[in-house]
A = this chain, B = another copy of it.
Amino acid sequence: MFTSGYVSNEAAISTIAKLLPNCLILSDALNHASMIHGVRSSGVSKQIWRHNDLNHLEELLIAAGPDRAKLIVFESVYSMDGDVAPIEKIADLADKYNAFTYIDEVHAVGMYGNRGAGICERDGVMDRMDVIEGTLAKGFGVMGGYITGKKSLVDAVRSYAPGFIFTTALPPGLCAAATASIRHLKESRVEREAHQRQAARTKAVLRAAGLPVMPSVTHIVPVLVGNPDLCKKATDILLEKHGIYIQPINYPTVPRGTERLRVTPTPFHNDVVIEHLRDALVDVWETLSLPFSEPSVPEVEKAVRQQIFSAAGG
């Protein structure tokens, strides 16, 4: 247990990588800032593989050789795009080339899997990962983070990570709240079903209105704007005129040219709310003369490849 998901990633990735002799980290290009922080803190060598690109990952694994310690770090649900890693295939590569796997399930725990353990549970691959990292915020609605894995690995992190040793414990009230959340979401599927239904509905309703909803296979609904000033203006109008609070997602969170609104419906955003959002977005799009169209996926992809790919390694 850590004080947050951010701290879990920073502390665990840096500690595991430091403890493995001559470790090479292989990090997905779209990994979260907290994972990048952990990679940097470790001080070990790293290579960035193109987002979700199994061929590129395999090339790097082959180049590193079978004997070198290798740690593959990636996410299940990518929070700004809503796409999902090919987890089982990454596990197959890890087995084939003798690498450790570290997956961030922060945007999935509570929300996916029969008992809410995340995408790895949903896909039946929990046992294929060396470390699954998660949060008690987001889906569980409280605060705190954790890693799961073999006892020896968890003990090693517990014994060496400054971000675990030299910090405070979660307050009892917070632990009680998180425990209640987890207990509830292990049994109840009502919230997960409603969540998926309302997210799917949001995508469908916005797309039907011609709004540029980016491809997403999860509850994350990114709507492309493609310009940081217009992105900020769009969120200002949404708040001031329509009473809807959505943060503008600009560089460095996403690559330049792919600035977006990121809508994350909950089970409690009902159909009326979704239609209100659609009407508000249509008004914003007309006010700012933004294009009504499917977002051009190859262009988005190109921007991601060119910009994040060089920046993430920095």
User: Which residue numbers of A lie inside 8 Å of B, CB to CB?
Assistant: 3-7, 10, 32-34, 36-37, 40-41, 135, 137-138, 141-143, 162-163, 165-168, 170-171, 173-174, 177
Contact = CB atoms under 8 A, between A and B. Distances in A.
Q: Give the secondary structure class of A's interface.
A: helix
B37 A167 contact: no
25 contacts: A3-B6, A3-B7, A3-B143, A4-B4, A4-B167, A4-B168, A5-B168, A6-B7, A6-B167, A6-B168, A10-B163, A32-B166, A33-B165, A40-B41, A137-B171, A141-B171, A142-B171, A143-B143, A143-B171, A143-B174, A171-B177, A173-B173, A173-B174, A173-B177, A174-B174
A1 to B, nearest CB: 12
Q: How many copies does the complex hold?
A: 2
A313 B167 CA distance: 21
Across chains A and B, which 4 residue pairs bring their CB atoms closest together, nearest first? Answer: A33-B166, A6-B167, A137-B168, A3-B4
A177 B33 CA distance: 29
A142 to B, nearest CB: 6
Contacts of A33: 162, 165-166
B6 A163 contact: yes
Given A6-B163, A143-B168, 16 more contacts: A3-B3, A3-B7, A3-B143, A4-B168, A5-B167, A6-B7, A6-B166, A6-B167, A7-B167, A10-B163, A33-B165, A34-B167, A138-B168, A141-B171, A143-B143, A143-B171
